[in-house]
Amino acid sequence: MTSRGECLERLSERLTEQQLRKVMTQGYTDVSLSVMAEYNKEYARMLANCKYSPQTFNKLTEAYSQKRMSEESYLMIMDHAQYTDRNEPYADAFLDSLNTIYPSTAANCFAAVNYNDMSYERAISFVQSGAFYATDQASLSVTPEVAAELFEMRIPLRGCEGFNNCYDVDDLQASLDDGDAIFVRDADMSLAVVIHDLMKRPEWTEFRDSVISEFGDMTANLTGQNIRELWDKHEIKKLHAELQDKIRKEHCDFLSDLRERSPDDIIRSAYMIVTTDQISMYMRLYEPPLSAKEYKTLLSSENTLMEIYEEWNSHDDWTDMEDMGYAMEKAAESIQYSIDRKEDKIAEKMTASHSQKEPEQKQKHYPKR
263-to-139, 252, 258 alpha-carbon distances in Å: 77, 18, 9
* Whether residue 239 is found in the same domain as residue 327: yes
* Whether residue 170 is found in the same domain as residue 146: yes
Answer left, alpha or beta for residue 368, where phi above 0 means left and psi between -120 and 50 means alpha: beta
Polymer length of the chain:
369
Tell whether the model's pLDDT for residue 254 goes beyond 90. yes
In a domain, 320, yes or no: yes
- Model confidence at 367, pLDDT cuts 50, 70, 90, reads very low
* Whether residue 184 is found in the same domain as residue 261: no
Q: Which residues contact 16 (CB under 8 A, 6 or more apart)?
A: 45, 48
- Say how many C-beta atoms besides its own lie within 10 A of residue 153's C-beta: 18
In a domain, 158, yes or no: yes
Instruction: Out of 65-74, 240-249, 310-319, pick the least confident.
Output: 310-319
In a domain, 18, yes or no: no
The range of the structural domain enclosing residue 270 comes to 235-347
Q: Do residues 144 and 117 make contact, with C-beta atoms less than 8 angstroms apart?
A: no
More confident residue, 99 or 344: 99
* Whether residue 214 is found in the same domain as residue 239: no
- Give the model's pLDDT for residue 357: 58
Buried b (16+ CB within 10 A) or exposed e, 12-41: eebbeeebbebbeeeebbebbbbbbbebee
* Whether residue 317 is found in the same domain as residue 251: yes
Q: What is the tally of structural domains in the chain?
A: 2
In a domain, 191, yes or no: yes
* Whether residue 310 is found in the same domain as residue 275: yes
**Domain finish residue from 176, 194, 222:** 222
Alpha-carbon dihedral sign for residues 206, 209, 215, 221: positive
**Domain finish residue from 222, 256, 274:** 222
Q: Is 108 helix (H, G, I), strand (E, B) or coil?
A: helix
**Domain finish residue from 176, 201, 222:** 222
Q: Structure pTM?
A: 0.76
- Give the model's pLDDT for residue 359: 55
Q: Which residues contact 101 (CB under 8 A, 6 or more apart)?
A: 124
161 bridge partner residues: 165
- Give the model's pLDDT for residue 349: 74
pLDDT (tens digit per residue) in 213-222: 999 889 888 8
- Give the model's pLDDT for residue 345: 81
- Model confidence at 269, pLDDT cuts 50, 70, 90, reads confident
In a domain, 326, yes or no: yes
Pick from 82, 85, 67: which is nearest to 31 by CA? 67
In a domain, 56, yes or no: no
* Whether residue 193 is found in the same domain as residue 134: yes
Buried b (16+ CB within 10 A) or exposed e, 48-71: bbbebebebbbbbbebbbeebbee
In a domain, 5, yes or no: no
Contacts 24+ apart (CB under 8 A), 25-32: 26/54, 27/54, 27/55, 27/58, 28/54, 28/57, 28/58, 29/58, 29/61, 29/62, 30/1, 30/4, 31/1, 31/58, 31/61, 31/62, 31/65, 32/57, 32/58, 32/61, 32/62
* Whether residue 180 is found in the same domain as residue 263: no
In a domain, 368, yes or no: no
pLDDT, mean of residues 94-117: 94
- Give the model's pLDDT for residue 354: 60
* Whether residue 189 is found in the same domain as residue 270: no
pLDDT (tens digit per residue) in 171-229: 999 999 999 999 987 768 999 999 999 999 999 999 999 999 999 889 888 899 999 99
How buried is residue 295: exposed, middle or buried, by Cβ count under 10 Å (0-12/13-18/19+)? Answer: buried
The DSSP output letter for 66 is T
* Whether residue 299 is found in the same domain as residue 242: yes
Residues of the chain with pLDDT > 70: what percent? 94
Tell whether the model's pLDDT for residue 111 goes beyond 80. yes
* Whether residue 204 is found in the same domain as residue 283: no
* Whether residue 158 is found in the same domain as residue 244: no
pLDDT (tens digit per residue) in 320-361: 888 898 999 999 999 999 888 888 787 777 776 665 555 554
